[in-house]
Amino acid sequence: MTVKVKFFANFREIIGCSEDNFSVDSVKELLKTLSETEKELSEKFFEDEENLELEDSVNIMVNGRKINLLDGINTELKDGDIVAIFPPVAGG
């Protein structure tokens, strides 16, 4: 299955594009794939890479819903889903 992934801010700069398509079945598989492609992403995504524990500051949405409202990193993906990955958001 193919999902569209949209990258924002510094994630876009690291990947080198604003969006791309990936054939993955879950958010976990997507993040592992991205981390293997760009090692710098692994450091930004995971607080504990070995246990795949996400950084609190990373915001991931599937079809407009935050993954912590779904099944977290284990959220299953379906063909045509849109995943958005945001860095920490700060305001002032």
- 83 touches 62 (CB < 8 A): yes
CATH code at position 9: 3.10.20.30
26 pLDDT more than 80: yes
| Number of structural domains in the chain | 1
Q: Which domain, by its residues, includes 6?
A: 2-86
Q: What are 76's strand-pairing partners? A: 26
The DSSP annotation for 11-68 comes to HHHHHTSSEEEEE-SBHHHHHHHHHHH-HHHHHHHEEETTTTEEPTT-EEEETTEEGG
Length of the chain: 92
pLDDT mean across residues, the chain: 88
Domain assignment of residue 91, yes or no: no
Q: Dump pLDDT digits (tens) for 33-90.
A: 988 888 887 777 777 666 667 777 889 999 999 999 999 999 999 999 999 999 876 6
Domain assignment of residue 92, yes or no: no
Query: Mean pLDDT across the stretch 10-31?
Result: 93
- pLDDT for residue 49: 64
Confidence band of 14 (pLDDT split at 50, 70, 90): confident
